[in-house]
Amino acid sequence: MYHKVLFMTEQNQHLDALHDIKRMMQRSSRFISLSGLSGIAAGICALAGAWFANNWLQDYHRAYEQRGYSGAAFRDLEMNLILLAMAVAGLAFLSALYFTWRRAGRHKVPLWNHTSRQLLWNTAVPIIAGGFFLLIMLLQYNEWRLIGPGCLIFYGLALVNGSKYTVSDIRYLGYCEIILGLVSTQYPKHSLEFWTAGFGILHIIYGFLMWWKYERKTADVS
Amino acid sequence: MALNNPIAGLNKIFDNRIRLGVMSILMVNEEISFNDLKQMLEVTDGNLATHMQTLEESGFIKVHKGFIGRKTNTTYSITKAGEKAFKDHIEGLEKMIKGVK
């Protein structure tokens, strides 16, 4: 009897050790505090941005029909849209950061650690490369038709690349963005709709699913 | 390898939670700094340093001393021997658990 009890506690110790190993491997290689609410917040920012962009485009088209083509008006529109896109990206990033910061606090892990640095770096590489590429395409070669699809594709690649360093489900969002980007190359007139679907709707759906899957139960313990 | 448990491949060096933690982290990260290890394992400098020394002396980890600006930046990586010992240790744990059932 005594022998059996001794054996049981030893078994539990071994189980604990295995559990510890698994936990350390996960904690040290993936940033798991990325919150679903971050996705929702980023999606809302994108929807708001798309609403402004749509209004400006309509104003431009109205002026175009009434007064005809003006190079200055087109350049203004182009510049405003670039600035808007940057503002939306910045706001989306900050709001996403906020919810993830909150969740990291709950996990009692620092927001800025080995894993979040790796995640940031691995998503930043495709995004920065894509950003420069698209700016060159637009400003130097005047090619605007592939800007929307390009944003979606490069962003999707960034997510797939980053998925190795965070919740791996995020790669599915990446695949969806890439597919959407490729499809949208065939519909240049509906670029904004595709952009809105990719950055707005998909983010919100993904964010909600992630929140439902991982955070719902712990959400009220704040 | 006198320290090895001849039956299961369990390694005495990994009996300690911190050393086991360090090895787990190094299995999935190519290279990691002292400060990152400290942060993840929630231990003090002195405590971690002692354990790192034990692991280094056993030949399970490699130490790389570098600089970031003027500050020293020590990073660690796992050796082939370390990888093998760790895998054997996990197998040992599994055997022990299965054996009791």
Q: How confident is the model at residue A221 (pLDDT cuts 50, 70, 90)?
A: very low
Nearest to A160, CA basis, from A140, A175, A141: A175
A31 inside domain: no
Torsion of CA A172, A176, A181, A183, to 10 degrees: 140
Question: Chain A contacts of B96, Cβ < 8 Å?
Answer: 10-11, 14
- Helix (H) / strand (E) containing A212: none
pLDDT score at B27: 93
**Cα A125 from chain centre:** 14
Task: Count H helices and E strands in chain A, helices first.
Answer: 8, 0
Could you tell me the two tokens for A136?
Answer: 């060159």
CATH code for the domain of B81 = 1.10.10.10
Contact state of A10 with B100 under an 8 Å Cβ cutoff: yes
A193 inside domain: yes
B43 and chain A: CB distance < 8 Å anywhere? Answer: no
B9 and chain A: CB distance < 8 Å anywhere? Answer: no
Buried b (16+ CB within 10 A) or exposed e, A114-147: bbbebbeebbeebbeebbeebeebbeeeeeeebb
Question: Chain B contacts of A17, Cβ < 8 Å?
Answer: 17, 20, 93
**Cα B91 from chain centre:** 16
Per-residue pLDDT, averaged over B57-86, amounts to 92
Per-residue pLDDT, averaged over A1-14, amounts to 69
Question: Chain B contacts of A8, Cβ < 8 Å?
Answer: 100
Asked if residue A121 lies in contact with residue A161, where contact means CB atoms within 8 angstroms, the answer is no
B7 inside domain: no
**How many structural domains is chain B composed of?**
1
As a whole number, the mean pLDDT across chain A is 91
**How many structural domains is chain A composed of?**
1
Residue A145, domain extent: 36-216
B77 and chain A: CB distance < 8 Å anywhere? Answer: no
Three-state SS at B41: helix
B93 inside domain: yes
Residue B50, domain extent: 12-100
Contact state of B100 with A25 under an 8 Å Cβ cutoff: no
Could you tell me the two tokens for B76?
Answer: 């660690």
CB atoms within 10 A of CB A152: 28
Asked if residue A54 lies in contact with residue A192, where contact means CB atoms within 8 angstroms, the answer is yes
B3 inside domain: no
> Closest to B39 (Cβ–Cβ): which among A17, A22, A110?
A110
Q: How confident is the model at residue A125 (pLDDT cuts 50, 70, 90)?
A: very high
Three-state SS at B86: helix
A14-61: per-residue pLDDT in tens? 888 888 898 889 888 889 889 999 999 999 999 999 999 999 999 999
What residue type is A79 in one-letter code? Answer: M
Question: Chain B contacts of A25, Cβ < 8 Å?
Answer: 24-25, 27-28
pLDDT score at B7: 60
B83 inside domain: yes
